[in-house]
Every structure is written in C-alpha cells, then in structure tokens.
Chain A
Amino acid sequence: MTDPNIDFSMVLASAVHDMKNSLGMLLNSLEELRSEYNQTLAGSEKFNMLQYEAERMHNDLVQLLGIYRLGENNLSAHIDEHFVPDFLEEHLARHIPLLQSLGIEYSIAAEDISGFFDEDLLTGVLNNTINNAIRYTRSKICLTARQEDGYLVLGVEDDGQGYPDNMQHSGTPSFKSLDFKSGSTSLGLFFASSVARLHTENDRSGAIRLHNGGALGGGVFEIWLP
C-alpha cells in the first residue's frame, strides 16, 4: 500500500534532522567524558573509535541534509570574506582531542589571506575531510591554504596510502558511479563538489581536486573556490 500523501523525502529529512541533533548531544557527552576522565581515556582505542564513528555519522547526516536542501533548491551560498588561517585553526581545533589521543601530528600551513566563501558550507566540507584524513593517515595531517590562479585553495593532506587511482580526478562524482560495495559511498565527495559548485564568481565556479603526493606524500584533497 502506498499513501500518495506521504512525501517520503520530507519524512527522511525530518528523521535525519532528528538523528543529527541526537548525535550532536552524544558527541557533546563524549567530549565531556573525555575531559572528565582524561587520564583513563587517553589513548583508549575503544573510546577513540566511539568518538570517531559518531563524528563520522554526524558528518554524513549533515551532508545528507545539505544534499536534500540542494535538491529542494533551498540551499544557496552566503558568501562573505573570512580570514583563512583563523577559519582553519578553528576547524582543526574541533578534532584536536581525538588527534592527540590517536597520536596523530597536526599542523596548518596557510598564508595570511582572506577568502570569500560560505562559512557554514565549508565547515561541513572541512569536518568531513579531516575526519576522512584521520581514518586514512599514518601519522600526520596538514591543513593548507593558498591563492592560485585567482582561486582560494583549501586543502587537507595526509601521509597515508593516498587515494586509489579511480578516485583521483577533479570532476564531479555522480551518484550513479558510487560503489556501495567498497564501503565508501563518496557521499562526502559528492557534497564537497556540490558545495564547491555553489561558489561562483562571474563565470567561474568552484571545484574539488583529489590527488596524491603533497608535502606529506599521502592523499591530497583540495577545494578550489573562485
């Protein structure tokens, strides 16, 4: 039986919204637990995994909602000028307890520049990319920012294995090509490239680029914003 009155994507979006808030509370409690029982929990693999996975789910849900709003044509980029080093530091800070606990070194290599972008949208992209890097790196993570060809380029680099060949591209991943078997749905990349394309200036628009190498020799994620 199908009820034509049910707008299924609407129902999903509401459920996702609720789950996202719920996970937010959960993450908050985890954060408090970590600071209260720092001695016991520092370096606890189980606790780190708990936090990492909760963080990952939270990111996924944030992106899902973003993509839903994109589909509803209800998402636009509110571009403003931001001081880039502050922005990167702030987002790295969110992950510091987990990074320290996992023994991952972190750094920022950013020029003292201002850039034009939507803070909220880029927050979603950065959180997800940092979270990903935590998963695939060996020992280091670096956030980068530079200006190139009139674009602001924000990057996340690691010293892991890098992206597999079939993922290294600079186009837009489409949902059709997502490989659910591999466990990586590329939801994050789809979201990131959607956010990049929402950033336009005259006839130029943003894009993402994935490649390997960089200063740390691992995967390099870049978002190019006009």
Chain B
Amino acid sequence: MNSPEPKDPVNPFGKLTFLVVDDFENFRLSMRQMLRSCGADRIELVAHATPAIQYCTYNHVDVVLCDYNLGEGKNGQHVLEELRHRKLLKRSSLFLMVTAETSKEMVMGAREYQPDAYLTKPINRAMLEQRLGSLIKQRNALHPITREIDRENYPEAISLCLHALTRQPRYKTWLMKTLGELYFLVGDLAHAQKIYDDVLHQRELSWARLGSCKVLLANRHFDQAVQGIKALIERHPDYMEAYDLLAEGLENQGRSVQAQQVLQKATEHSPNALLRQRHLAELAGTNQDIDTAAEAWRQTVVLGTHSIHDSAEHYLSLAQSLSDLGEGDSEETGAEYSAEAFSVLNRMEKRFSDDPGIGLKSRIVQCRLLAGLGRHREAENVLNSVSSELEGLDDVPVDLTLDFAKTLFRMGRVDQARHILAELAARHENEPDVLQKIENLLDEPVGFRQKLEARGMNRDGIKAFEAGDLNAAVEAFANALEIVPDHAALNLNLVQVLMKQYDLTTDPKLLEACRQRLDRLSRLPVQHRQHRRYVALTRKLKGLTA
C-alpha cells in the first residue's frame, strides 16, 4: 500500500522503540511490516508473555503492542499489570492492547491498570499510522508531565499540568483526569474536589463523578459519597469501578452485608478481576457468609495463577474457609471440604516453597482439619510440633498467632489460647483492628455455624428485652451463652436483664446468677471494648448486694 498522505517533517515513529507481543507469527511479521512502513526502525517481536516481561526488564521500550489473547498462560492484561506494577514500563511509555473482539468486556476485568489504548483487529496500515501517530503525538506533548510522574515528583507534575491546560486544550480530558489523581495522591483533597467539580459543572461525566465520590469518601462524608455512587450506577450499570467504590463506602458506613451484595453483583458482571474477588472474599468472611467467602477465595486462587497479585495468603484463606465449612459438618460434604482444603494447602506449599513460614501456616490449618475428621492423634502430633516451632520464633505475625489460637481452641487447649491472645492484645494495644480480631476470637471460639446461631439468639434476646418480655430475653441470652459461654457482650446483656428482673422481684437468686456471669469475665483484657461496661455492671452489682 502506498499512501500519498504527507508525513510529519520529523518522523515520530523513527525515534521510538517498539515491542510487539503476539502468539501468531504471521501477525507479528505483518505488524512489523506495517510499523516499518510508518517509519519505525527499532522493533522487537516476541510470542509470549514471559519473554515480553523479560525484554522490558532489560530494555527500554516506548511502545508495547500486545495482543490480549496469547494462548496458554498469561494474557495481555497480565502482561500489562506486571509491567506497570513492577514499574518495568514507565508511565511515559505506551501500552496498546490489541483485541480480536470489538467489545472490551473480556479485557475489562481488572481495571487497576488500563492500557493507553485498545486496537481492534483487523488492523491495516492506515489505521495503525493514524491511531499510533496521534497517540505518539500526545505522548510527546505530555512527556514532560509523565516524566515527572515517573520520578514521583508529583508537585512538579501538577504545575506542568496546570500550565498545559491553557497551552494544550486538546488534551484537556487527560490533563483534568491526571490532575484529579495527582491531587488525590498528594493528599490535597480540596484541590482534587475542585478539579472534579469544574468538570462536572460543565458536564456530568462518569469518571469525574467517580473521582468526586472518591474524594467525599476520603473526607469521610460517607452518606454523601454512597448516595452519589448509587446514582452513578443507576445511570451506568456497567461501570465496574463504581461498584468497588460503593462497596468501600458501604463498609465505611458499617453496612458490610450490603457491601458484600454490591461486590457479588459486580463479580457477576465481570468475574475476572482478582482484587475484586479478594475484596468480596474478605467481606463475606467478615459477614460469616463462609460459603460465599470460600467460592470467592477459589476464584481468587484461580485468577492468581498468572497474576502479579498472586499470594500464598489466598490459598491459606481458602483452606481456612473450607476448614470452617467442614467443621461440624458430619455429612459427606464435610469430608469433601476437608479433602479440598488439604489439596489447596498442598498446592500452596509447592507453589510458595520459597516462603520459609509456609509449612507452619499450612500445618496450623491441617491440625484443625485432622481434628474435624476425628484423627485426633495425628492432630495432637501436628499441634505439638507447631507449638514448639512457634516458641522458637521471636516475631510471630498477628494473623499466624490468631490462626494458631483458633486451632488451640478447636483442640480444647483453652487456657493456652487465652494466654497467647492476652499477650497478643498487650503487644498491639494501640491497634483497634488487631484488638477487634482478638475479641472476636475470645468471644466466639467456635465454628461459624454456631456463631451464627448464637448471634441469632442474641438478636432475639435484644428484641424480647425491647418488647419488655424479660423472661424470653433471659432464655434467649442463656441459650446463646450455652454455645459461646465467654462472649463478653452476651454475658453483660444477660446481667442487665437479670438486674432488671431483680428491680421488679428482689429475688436474691437473680443477683447470684449475675455474679456467676460476671465471674466468667474476670479475665477480660482491659483493651476489650466491653471492659468498661463490665466494670460498671460489677460496681452496680456490688451496690445491690451491699
């Protein structure tokens, strides 16, 4: 093809280095042919993801043209994530995703990193020259800014953006988007908000609305943020980032069940985003919806196979969820969960054999699995080896200690479990997140089914108390305490109802019952959030018995 169109006086392709990634040799060759006829000179061709990443590790590349579908193994999105995440490809370099589909749905999975542009096959020379030409022109025009971003000199990048706004109005959208992100990044929320407001003042654009809600969230205006994102999703039900942000907002409002529902809907639309699946798994775990958690962890593990975000923690969390599901399930399904958990742990140990702590993490879960299957002697042996190994370690991570305590409870070593949790609480007394996890475990050291049962009874008790039915309330709380006898809030709820009954009847047996409940909590750590209430009620009881 000999196009008569005049070229730029300075050939924009000639100075740059190109990398073409495609598993079809014909396509690679024809792409090189087209690039050459556009004036490109330095062009490297590779067939697969691994050599592509390898090449970018040791060479500077200005433009990557990567096919989405690279056959077995990593796809184009994995390549993009790895290059950007490991900073092997600078922000000033272009990544173009080549797709066979006209729709980008497949590619839209993980949005943490987006390509600079999509090229849809079929591609001819004229298209390539036009599209790539204008992208390169934009790259060159914005290069002073992206260079500062690469150097993490954000204030300089911001001031260059502001200058460019008046001199290069053609790139206004890019500049405004970048300004919003940069202000957010440096923590200047007021200016970030102003950028988004400026855009929205002119026109309701979804990226600006999302940015504005993100700022609201960061400023802890949760209600306003949630309201804004809900309206955005109403208008754009296929805008996946909005779902992620909505879930975050709802979580901040303390509505973790709704947050989970939002993410479940988003993963139905677009199941291939690892980070979203992981977020869903964590939320479902918090909500004690272990079935959903296990399924989301399964997906996270599968999606991790070729992803830079893969982690042993995903395998471990999956095994833990499966172990929870199997626990107290004497049916065949219980054994199936255990078998799956063992196989997940096995794969984890192989895949992450470089991690020195991996065997220990695995055995702590295995111990619970063995106990669940009734193989108590084996479980004891594993527990003893784990115990002695842990004693030799100085700095045991929080999550590992918590999981170990869970296993100790499961194995009936209640005192040892409480002891290490008390130590852990003392070491992390200023970290509310850690304290919360410790409290949860101390309160409810049982399987999730029993937890849910006890929580249901607790709710019934509170309802009965509010309705003035004291007898029903006492019964509900007492039943719940059969399951979780050391639950601080539950014990104190019961004490309060009993005291109320005492007000009406002055039956001394009620006070004796109160004393028994409070005695159970005598070792409640000072950091526990029910501790103040415990002290107050103890004092009140003293007053009543005096």
Give residues in A with beta carbon < 8 Å to B: 20-21, 24-25, 27-28, 30-32, 34-35, 38, 62, 65, 73-76, 78-83, 86, 89-90, 93-94, 96-97, 100, 114, 116, 120, 124, 201
Q: Is B516's CB within 8 Å of the partner chain A? A: no
Task: Tell me the bound Cα distance from A127 to B270 in angstroms.
Answer: 27
Residue among B34, B102, B203, B237 with the highest chain A CB neighbour number at 10 A = B102
Task: Tell me the bound Cα distance from A86 to B117 in angstroms.
Answer: 14
Which residue from chain B places its CB closest to the CB of A32 in the assembled complex? Answer: B30
Q: Is the CB of B100 within 8 A of A93?
A: no
Q: Is the CB of B239 within 8 A of A78?
A: yes
Interface string of B135-175 (1 = CB under 8 A from A): 00000000000000000000000000000000001101100
- With a cutoff of 8 Å between Cβ atoms, the chain B residues found around residue A116 in the complex are 203, 205
Q: Is the CB of B1 within 8 A of A201?
A: no
Nearest CB on B from A79, distance (A): 6
Known A35-B30, A79-B205; judge A93-B101 contact (CB<8 A): no
Q: Is the CB of B238 within 8 A of A76?
A: yes
Task: Tell me the bound Cα distance from A193 to B203 in angstroms.
Answer: 22
Task: Tell me the bound Cα distance from A82 to B148 in angstroms.
Answer: 25
Q: Is the CB of A93 within 8 A of B126?
A: yes
Q: Is the CB of A96 within 8 A of B30?
A: no
Q: Is the CB of A81 within 8 A of B123?
A: no
Task: Tell me the bound Cα distance from A86 to B169 in angstroms.
Answer: 14
CB contact between A80 and one of B26, B33, B205 (< 8 Å): that residue: B205
Task: Tell me the bound Cα distance from A26 to B184 in angstroms.
Answer: 46
Known A20-B102, A31-B122, A116-B203; judge A93-B131 contact (CB<8 A): yes
CB contact between A38 and one of B1, B103, B169 (< 8 Å): that residue: B1
Which residue from chain B places its CB closest to the CB of A42 in the assembled complex? Answer: B1
Work out how many contacts link A and B, with CB atoms closer than 8 A. 92
Q: Is the CB of A62 within 8 A of B130?
A: no
Q: Is the CB of B173 within 8 A of A21?
A: no
Q: List 19 A-B contacts (CB under 8 A).
A: A20-B102, A24-B101, A25-B121, A28-B121, A28-B122, A30-B122, A31-B124, A32-B30, A35-B124, A74-B237, A80-B205, A81-B205, A86-B134, A93-B124, A93-B129, A93-B131, A94-B127, A114-B172, A116-B203
CB contact between B127 and one of A24, A80, A90, A114 (< 8 Å): that residue: A90
Q: Is the CB of B100 within 8 A of A114?
A: no
Give residues in B with beta carbon < 8 Å to A: 1, 3, 26, 30, 33-34, 100-104, 120-127, 129-131, 134, 169-170, 172-173, 203-207, 235-239
Task: Tell me the bound Cα distance from A80 to B174 in angstroms.
Answer: 10
Q: Is the CB of B3 within 8 A of A96?
A: yes
Q: Is the CB of A24 within 8 A of B205?
A: no
Q: Is the CB of A24 within 8 A of B173?
A: no
Task: Tell me the bound Cα distance from A30 to B122 in angstroms.
Answer: 9
Known A35-B30, A78-B239, A81-B173; judge A24-B206 contact (CB<8 A): no
What 5 pairs across the A-B complex have the smallest Cβ distances? Answer: A28-B122, A96-B126, A93-B126, A93-B127, A93-B130
Q: Is the CB of B131 within 8 A of A90?
A: yes
Q: Is the CB of A76 within 8 A of B236?
A: yes
Task: Tell me the bound Cα distance from A100 to B122 in angstroms.
Answer: 17
- With a cutoff of 8 Å between Cβ atoms, the chain B residues found around residue A21 in the complex are 100-101
Known A30-B122, A31-B124; judge A24-B100 contact (CB<8 A): yes
- With a cutoff of 8 Å between Cβ atoms, the chain B residues found around residue A38 in the complex are 1
Nearest CB on B from A172, distance (A): 21
Known A32-B30, A114-B172; judge A80-B207 contact (CB<8 A): yes
Task: Tell me the bound Cα distance from A30 to B34 in angstroms.
Answer: 15
- With a cutoff of 8 Å between Cβ atoms, the chain B residues found around residue A73 in the complex are 237
A81-B173, A89-B130 are known; give 10 further A-B pairs, CB within 8 A: A24-B122, A25-B121, A31-B123, A35-B34, A38-B1, A73-B237, A79-B206, A93-B126, A114-B170, A116-B203
- With a cutoff of 8 Å between Cβ atoms, the chain B residues found around residue A80 in the complex are 173, 205, 207
Known A24-B101, A24-B102, A78-B239; judge A96-B173 contact (CB<8 A): no
- With a cutoff of 8 Å between Cβ atoms, the chain B residues found around residue A28 in the complex are 100, 121-123
Nearest CB on B from A124, distance (A): 8
Task: Tell me the bound Cα distance from A75 to B105 in angstroms.
Answer: 12
- With a cutoff of 8 Å between Cβ atoms, the chain A residues found around residue B169 in the complex are 114
- With a cutoff of 8 Å between Cβ atoms, the chain B residues found around residue A76 in the complex are 235-239
- With a cutoff of 8 Å between Cβ atoms, the chain B residues found around residue A82 in the complex are 173
Nearest CB on B from A202, distance (A): 9
Nearest CB on A from B20, distance (A): 15
Residue among A81, A97, A116 with the highest chain B CB neighbour number at 10 A = A81
Q: Is the CB of A94 within 8 A of B100?
A: no
Which residue from chain A places its CB closest to the CB of B135 in the assembled complex? Answer: A86
- With a cutoff of 8 Å between Cβ atoms, the chain A residues found around residue B3 in the complex are 96
Q: Is the CB of B134 within 8 A of A90?
A: yes
- With a cutoff of 8 Å between Cβ atoms, the chain A residues found around residue B170 in the complex are 83, 114
Nearest CB on A from B255, distance (A): 26
- With a cutoff of 8 Å between Cβ atoms, the chain B residues found around residue A120 in the complex are 104
Which residue from chain B places its CB closest to the CB of A119 in the assembled complex? Answer: B118
